[in-house]
Amino acid sequence: MLGQNRKQLIKRGALSFFSMLLLLFSVAAGGCGTSETDVNNPDGTVKPTLKVGFSIPYTGPAAEKGSVMGNAKLDAIKYINEELGGVNGYQIEVLWRDTKYDSSLAATIVQEMMDKECLFFTTCASKEMQASMEIANRANFPGFTVFSSPVCTHPPKHIYAQLPDYGDSWASFAKYYMENIWQGEGTPKMALMILQNPTGYGARDAANALAADLGIEIVGVYEHSATITDDTANLINLKGQNPDVVFISSTPQPTSVIIKQMNQMDIYPGVTIGCGHGGFTKALIDLAGVTNTEGIYGVYPTVNWDEDVPGMAKMKEYCLKYHPDNYGNMDYIASWSEGLMVAEILRLALINTPGGIDNLTPQAIEEYGIKKLNGYAVGGLQGPVSYSSGDNRLAKAVRVFQISGGVMQVLSDWVEAPLIRYEDFSWFGS
């Protein structure tokens, strides 16, 4: 009998050991969790968690942005869970996956998030969201993207934008350029250098909609891939058009290639360069160099690191503690803000959904969480967040910056980008 009991104990111990190995493997390989342990109620029952899906391009051709953004949002959730006790006492459980900035993988991932009963999901990039949104919209599965393009939210369905989109970046820069930079006679000539995905097409669509009304002539639209190492052919054609201003809507790595070659080909200095917020971040300066980026303008929808706003100190604390290499990169600010917004949406849904957490569904998240956003300040780290019927951009404000001595200096106050109803144009989406 004693021998039998001993065998049973050994068997149970082995099972426990292998169970622990499986648990550790699933956390490491699956990329999930800020909810590493169950939280129990006083009666011993397991308290439910609030499961959210994060699509993050941690690797691949946009990793210089995606890794920073992934670090920031997971740091923010860690702060919310560990220091604030979660949302109304409930821990946020994150299911995150690396999209590798690959559209087919992004579509597979959003389906997995629905299958695993996430309440809603976020993406870092407009490319990821464009790949995900057909599946999500069809299933009434809400989500928002940090960096957006008009195609993600027009016409408005179940996908939202955390920040103004790439079309808003172009429109805000173009307006600032006409009012503060352009001093020539007649109509300025602008060339567009755009990434061949929604990051670039958003700027192109805004230019199609507004350039004539703003008094700007578009003299060329030049597309590039996310993996370019040489854009000489496009730049030769661009130089022949003799533009007054060049607007680049891309990610940091290809933007850096273009800017370095514009310096080498004596195009810049000489023309004005403006960048959309997809490529205008500290990574651009690191990749292209301080000298090559001196004087370049850009649009970005968050504050800078040296500004005194309520949410800055805690964000800096976590960044310096867990990811000091990301310090100074405004993409970290954007995605830390994303984490705060996730918590606010969950908080609103919990208090507004009839029956509370027991009746929390993706549809309840949208109706009683996202659509209840009204002036949420996000710690002052970005423009205020509100839902407006017919406009799925949750924030509308951007600012214009200029690089000076390797630092992005603020030039403008917050400028609210007006809604452009792209769906009213026959060419939109074609």
- Residues 174-180 have a mean pLDDT of 97
Across the chain, mean pLDDT equals 91
pLDDT for 100-133, tens place per residue? 999 999 999 999 999 999 999 999 999 999 999 9
Average pLDDT for 206-211:
98
pLDDT tens digits for range 49-66: 999 999 999 999 999 999
Domain boundary assignment for the chain = 50-164+307-395, 167-300+419-424
Predicted pLDDT of residue 8 = 40
Q: Residue 46 — pLDDT band, cuts 50, 70, 90?
A: confident
Domain pair 50-164+307-395 / 167-300+419-424, same fold:
yes
Q: Would you say residue 1 has pLDDT above 70?
A: no
Instruction: Please report which confidence band the pLDDT of residue 27 belongs to, taking 50, 70 and 90 as the band edges.
Output: very low
Give me the residue label for tokens 């600032």.
Answer: 176
Q: Is residue 34 pLDDT above 70, yes or no?
A: no
Please say if the pLDDT value at position 196 is more than 70: yes
pLDDT at residue number 44: 64
Mean pLDDT confidence for 173-181:
97
Q: Would you say how long the chain is, in residues?
A: 430
Per-residue pLDDT averaged across 398-419, rounded? 95
Three-state SS across 30-87?
A: HCECCCCCCEECCCCCEECCEEEEEEECCCCCCHHHHHHHHHHHHHHHHHHHHCCCCE
Task: Quick: pLDDT tens for 137-149.
Answer: 999 999 999 999 9
- At 18, the pLDDT band (50, 70, 90 cuts) reads very low
Q: Which fold has domain 50-164+307-395?
A: Rossmann fold (3.40.50)
The single-letter DSSP state of residue 19 is: H
Backbone φ and ψ of 176, nearest 5°: -65, -40
What is the rounded distance in angstroms from the CA atom of residue 49 to the CA atom of residue 313?
A: 28
Q: How confident is the model at residue 197 (pLDDT cuts 50, 70, 90)?
A: very high
Residue whose entry in the numeric block shows the structure tokens 């909609």: 209
Show the tokens assigned to 187: 């109509």
At residue 85, does pLDDT exceed 50? yes
For residue 40, pLDDT over 70 is answered with no
At CA 272, angle to CA 193 and CA 331, rounded to 5? 65
Contact 151, 167 (CB under 8 A): no
The domain made up of 167-300+419-424 has a fold known as: Rossmann fold (3.40.50)
% residues pLDDT > 70 (the chain): 90
Cis peptide before 155 (omega within 30 of 0): yes
